[in-house]
């Protein structure tokens, strides 16, 4: 059965910090980043800095598989992530963003224990920001 459902996941660091310093400390390039005070596309200024990493757009009905892909490059960086959190007073979030169509197979949004262990070890919040749509007839 073909589904219209989709989901993406990513890890983010948010606060008042320089994303370039985080990239250097982790030895990783973000998928997206900005500094507090930079202009948004709409002309307003960001009121926080952000460093996004590990975006996974490969929909899987078991979204834990996407979450695993997102955090895979961070698993050996737990100590440095904690140092960054302490040094810059930032927060970490694992974002799960499913788009669900009524009538399609519902995705399983529960993280597995290995993902929960990573989140616990790094004090990472899990945020599920889902969108629900009526299924159309096409």
Average model confidence (pLDDT) for the chain? 94
Q: Residue 138: pLDDT above 70?
A: no
Higher pLDDT, 104 or 127: 127
Terminus-to-terminus CA distance in the chain, angstroms? 14
What share of the chain in percent tops pLDDT 70?
97
Q: Where are the domains of the chain?
A: 6-133
In angstroms, rounded to a whole number, what is the distance separating the alpha carbons of residues 70 and 102?
Answer: 26
The tens digit of pLDDT for each residue in 37-81 reads 999 989 999 999 999 999 999 999 999 999 999 999 999 999 999
- pTM to 2 decimals? 0.91
- 118 is written with which tokens? 């990573």
Strand, helix or coil for residue 3 = coil
- What value does the mean pLDDT take over residues 111-131? 96
N residues, the chain:
138
């Amino acid at each position: 059965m073909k589904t219209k459902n989709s989901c993406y996941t990513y890890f983010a660091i948010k606060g008042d910090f320089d994303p370039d310093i985080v990239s250097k400390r982790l030895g990783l390039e973000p998928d997206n980043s900005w500094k507090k005070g930079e202009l948004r596309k709409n002309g307003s200024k960001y009121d926080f800095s952000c460093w996004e990493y590990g975006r996974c757009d490969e929909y899987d009905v078991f979204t834990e598989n996407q979450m695993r892909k997102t955090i895979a490059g961070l698993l050996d960086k737990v100590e440095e992530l904690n140092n960054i959190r302490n040094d810059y007073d930032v927060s970490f979030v694992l974002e799960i963003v499913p788009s669900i169509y009524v009538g399609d197979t519902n995705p399983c949004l529960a993280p597995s224990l290995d993902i929960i262990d990573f989140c616990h070890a790094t004090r990472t919040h899990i945020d599920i920001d889902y969108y629900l749509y009526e299924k159309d007839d096409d």
